[in-house]
Amino acid sequence: MYPPGFAVYITLGRIKTIVHIMPSKITPTLLFTAVVALWLATLCVLVLVLPDWGSRGQFGDLFGSVNALFSGLAFAALYSSIRVQQSQLETQQNELALQREELKLQREEMAASRGELANQVRVQQAQFEASVAQILVAQAQARIEAIKMESEQVTPSGRRIYVLQIEDIAKSLTALSDRVKELAKSAA
Per-residue pLDDT reduced to its tens digit, 13-26: 444 444 444 455 67
Model pTM greater than 0.95? no
Q: pLDDT category, 62, cuts 50, 70, 90?
A: confident
Q: Rg (Cα) of the chain, in Å, rounded?
A: 49
Average pLDDT score, the chain: 78
Residue 103 reports pLDDT greater than 90: yes
Beta bridge partners of 187: none
CA dihedral 104, 105, 110, 115 (to 10 degrees): 110
**Beta bridge partners of residue 9, listed in sequence order:** 18
**Directed axis angle between helix 64-153 and helix 159-187, to 10°?**
170
**Distance of alpha carbon 182 from its chain centroid, rounded?**
44
16 pairs with which residues across the strands? Answer: 11
- CA 143 – CA 141 distance, rounded (Å): 5
Task: Reply yes or no on whether the pLDDT at 58 is more than 60.
Answer: yes
**pLDDT, average across residues 108-114:** 94
pLDDT per residue as tens digits for the range 119-162? 999 888 888 888 888 888 887 787 777 777 766 665 556 666 76
End-to-end CA distance of the chain: 67
- Domain map of the chain by residue range? 121-187
